[in-house]
Amino acid sequence: MSAASGLIAPHGGVLINRFVPQERYESTLALAKTLPTIPLTPRQISDLEIIAIGAASPLTGFLNQKDYQSVLHSMRLANGLPWTIPLTLPISQEQAKTLATHPKATLTAQDGQPLAILHLQDIYPYDKAQEAQAIYKTTDPAHPGVAILYAQPELYAGGDVEVLTLPPHTDFPEYYLTPTQTRAYFAQKGWRTVVGFQTRNPVHRAHEYLQKVALEMVDGLLLHPLVGETKGDDIPASVRMRCYRVLLDNYYPLDRTLLAVNPSAMRYAGPREAVFHALLRKNYGCTHFIVGRDHAGVGNYYGTYEAQEIFDAFSPEEIGIIPLKFEHAFWCQQCGSMATSKTCPHPSEAHVTLSGTKVREMLRAGQRPPVEFTRPEVAEVLIEAFRNSS
């Protein structure tokens, strides 16, 4: 714990802030306009954002070769600190030639707006198949994370960043809280223990059950949906945010719940991403993190509870945040309540479970899924969204 605030210490002990101080802003911007440029994709801008605001503490930039290799092979930075997902900056051979004579480069948005200065440490080649196997446990190009990796340029540029600005968030700006802001909120509320919940989908009854079981143990809940780049068939962030708001307004203790967004992009890296998601929430001030079935998974690439088992590769002290490992939850008609296999003795025939495909079919047809599966208010938001998108 941080003695000053009573909150958990950030990963590595210091909450990073990579924004250029106001007194140096104009001179840094002027310098940025004279340097070679590297345009960033939306995913890379998300990575830049979590580095800038300290969500990816202790990272101060994109991984150099030494840290990259260490993360790949040992799930740790070169200094031994646990870290499972490499935040890297892919560049082409042509860009590398330009950077060979410049120790600095300007990272830009697609429209050319300067976002940050990269202080180049090294340029290095990498083995895409090796990274795919290490991070995603597969080299199958059908995996969405592997597909993005294979489409990248063939080199990485490593180095610290000085961030001038980030593209504005126009969708739901009031929910883009930085780790500094969430920590201030927790301190003001007197929350010494906070559980974080990661989601890229609307919250259904099983999620709600896990959150409320966890909320029985801690002072507060950070409902922290990921709103960076996701798969094309995932429900859009704007629709998901409407679902979260109607759910919180009707079914949660608002004085013990905070809704904010996680700006990082989805990797679908299963076990490794579960640890990554936990470390991000530690930086936001969470002491506990819910890890459910197939966390951050996609398809059949990972074991059902592999994302829970990976935490055993680290000592509790070095991870710092406590993973709350939950079984799959469902409504049991015989129990007359939400349950898991740990608490319900009844056969699966008594359990109300629906596949995502079945739910989407119902929503497209304007049919509300059963209340045992999803709250009516959430279903209405989703039905309206499917109706407007068709």
Secondary structure of 214-277 as H, E, C letters: HHCCCCEEEEEEECCCCCCCCCCHHHHHHHHHHHHHHHCCHHHEEECCECCCCCCCCHHHHHHH
Quick count: other Cβ atoms within 10 Å of Cβ 84?
A: 24
Q: Detail the DSSP E strand segments found in the chain.
A: 37-39, 61-62, 90-91, 104-108, 114-125, 155-163, 194-199, 220-225, 257-259, 288-291, 322-325, 329-332, 337-340, 351-352
Question: From CA 106, how far away is CA 114, in angstroms rounded?
Answer: 6
Going from the C-alpha of 148 to that of each of 90, 91, 132, 231, the distances in angstroms are 11, 14, 10, 11
End-to-end Cα spacing for the chain: 50
Secondary structure of 4-43 as H, E, C letters: CCCCCCCCCCCCCCCECCHHHHHHHHHHHCCCCEEECCHH
List residues with catalytic annotation: 200-201
* Token pair recorded at residue 252: 């949660």
**Is the CA virtual torsion 189, 193, 199, 203 positive or negative?**
negative
Nearest to 211 by CA among 197, 230, 226: 197
Helix (H) or strand (E) holding 112: none
Q: Classify 128 as helix, strand or coil.
A: helix
- At residue 251's C-alpha, the angle toward residues 336 and 174, to 5°, is 150
- Are the C-beta atoms of 169 and 176 separated by less than 8 Å? yes
Dihedral, CA of residue 348, residue 350, residue 351 and residue 352, to nearest 10: 140
Helix (H) or strand (E) holding 321: none
Q: Classify 113 as helix, strand or coil.
A: coil
Helix (H) or strand (E) holding 304: none
